[in-house]
Structure 1
Amino acid sequence: MSEAYNDAPGTVDAEGLARGSSLDADAVRAAYRRWAGVYDRVFGAVSAPARRAAVAAVNAAEGVEVLEVGVGTGLALPHYRPEKRITGIDLSTEMLERARARVAREGLGNVRQLLELDAEATGFEDHRFDIAVAMFVASVVPNPRRLAAELRRVVRPGGLILFVNHFAAESGPMALVERALAPASRALGWHPDFAIERLIPAEQRKAASAVPMWPFGLFRLVSLSNPDSASARPG
């Protein structure tokens, strides 16, 4: 492994910090500091089917340079094909410590870097990756569309971008539950009432596929081909 455990400083989005209803970087770090020790047991099983589907899509896609955004404790890392070269980023020091321990324990030589970075401003060069996958991250970052724009920037034209996330129900009992939980977003570390339009504008959704994942469609796997990452800048 080359440069497998070099940390790099992330950046904090000032606009996100200024909005009281948003999750800023400090809120995310605090939430996942609390969750880190039990994350695999509590969230790992529930999210496993969606995670497996995302990794299968990465493994089937063309290209070998993969960016996993929100790598967390590294639950997905052992399941990528050996020829895929994985760079993982996360904002949580505690989560990354567990991911690094997993890489060392399981001898995952295809995991090239695990970095502490802001997903909205990674600092990677344009077109650095063939594939980017963001699992359970979109409803955490302060500016979801800035996240999407950043992934378009760092993925080559024609490359694959994947999101796995919970997206808010438009109606029914689940919508009521999500709205009731919304005030607890900072404590939870994510937005229960997160609408897909906050991530992908309606005109771009036409080119994306969104597949409900077990259990009960709680998560959706969204995939889209990157049309022109050179012209997509975070904003």
Structure 2
Amino acid sequence: MPVTYDLEGQKRVYATWAKFYDKVYLRLLARAQREAVTAACACGPDILEIGVGTGLTLAYFTPDRRVLGADLSLDMLKVANRKVASQGLKHVKGLMVMDACRLGFGDERFDAVTAQFVITLVPNPEQALDEMDRVLKPGGEIIISSRLVDDSALTAPLWTALAPIAKAIGWSTDFKVRRLTDWAARTGRYDTVHVGKGYFKVVRLRKRPAKA
């Protein structure tokens, strides 16, 4: 069946969230976000954050990195831009409206690509991962943080049942870790180097270095 893209619907949801997103999620998401940023900074200087939203993570990057942020929601990015200006985040080199499934960057541009709390909501996660792969340098990492369900969790059926309700408010409850690790295995180019624990998880997929 063809994939149905409701990007305008997502934009409307995010426009509403932009007004109070930080108050709800600043502390709730901080642990996983900091872990993902630390891993990204260890990969090299040029980093892309997909789904940068209101810029909750931007202050976590070290000043010697060069960070670009992309998000579907202009309303979210307006909040992020105010943070960059007010906090003097000079390592943030640009924030732009962009669809995660159609990134406007050249091939092998970044040392790390992070996608924080967005992979479960894009219309086609595998296409988004393909795009991350395209813009990532060999030896770099795709770093995902999100609400991810362990494949063997006893509560997995409950989260699946709640999925339609969660989707209505721009959230996801039933996205399986296996969907990421299976994609990595299918490419033949990635190793799964880390799968975190807890309610919010960080998954790191490392692109194998180019052969000499």
> Are residues 1:109 and 2:93 paired?
no
Identity of aligned residues (%): 39
CA deviation string 1:115-156 (max 9, x = no partner): 000011112100111111111111010111111111110011
Q: Tell me the TM-score normalized by structure 1.
A: 0.80
Distance 1:82 1:172, change over 3 A: closer
Aligned to 2:194: 210
Q: CA RMSD in A?
A: 2.1
Aligned to 1:190: 171
Aligned to 1:131: 112
Deviation (angstroms), 1:174: 3.3
Aligned to 1:9: none
| Structure 1, 103-112 or 189-198: larger mean CA deviation | 189-198
Q: Distance in 2 between matches of 1:165 and 1:159?
A: 20
2:181/2:192 contact within 8 Å kept:
no
Distance 1:162 1:65, change over 3 A: same
Q: Residue 67 of structure 2: SS of its match in structure 1?
A: strand
2:117/2:147 contact within 8 Å kept:
yes
Q: Size of the alignment, in residue pairs? A: 206
Q: Distance in 1 between matches of 2:184 and 2:12?
A: 35
1:160/1:224 contact within 8 Å kept:
yes
Which of the pair has the greater relative contact order for Cα pairs under 8 Å at 6+ separation? 1
2:108/2:137 contact within 8 Å kept:
yes
Distance 1:153 1:202, change over 3 A: closer
Q: Residue 67 of structure 1: SS of its match in structure 2?
A: strand
Match for residue 29 of structure 1 among 11, 24, 49 = 11
Aligned to 1:3: none
Match for residue 52 of structure 1 among 24, 30, 34 = 34
Deviation (angstroms), 1:78: 1.0
Structure 2's unaligned 5+ residue stretches are none
Deviation (angstroms), 1:177: 3.4
Aligned to 2:25: 43
Deviation (angstroms), 1:179: 2.0
Structure 1's unaligned 5+ residue stretches are 1-14, 19-23, 230-235
2:191/2:207 contact within 8 Å kept:
no
Q: Distance in 1 between matches of 2:118 and 2:194?
A: 16
Q: Tell me the TM-score normalized by structure 2.
A: 0.88
After TM superposition, the structure 1 = structure 2 runs for residues 58-207 of structure 1, keeping only pairs within 5 Å, are 58-61=40-43, 63-170=44-151, 174-201=155-182, 204=185, 207=191
Q: Residue 3 of structure 2: SS of its match in structure 1?
A: helix
Aligned residue identity for 1:73: T
2:149/2:173 contact within 8 Å kept:
yes
Deviation (angstroms), 1:210: 3.4
1:27/1:189 contact within 8 Å kept:
no
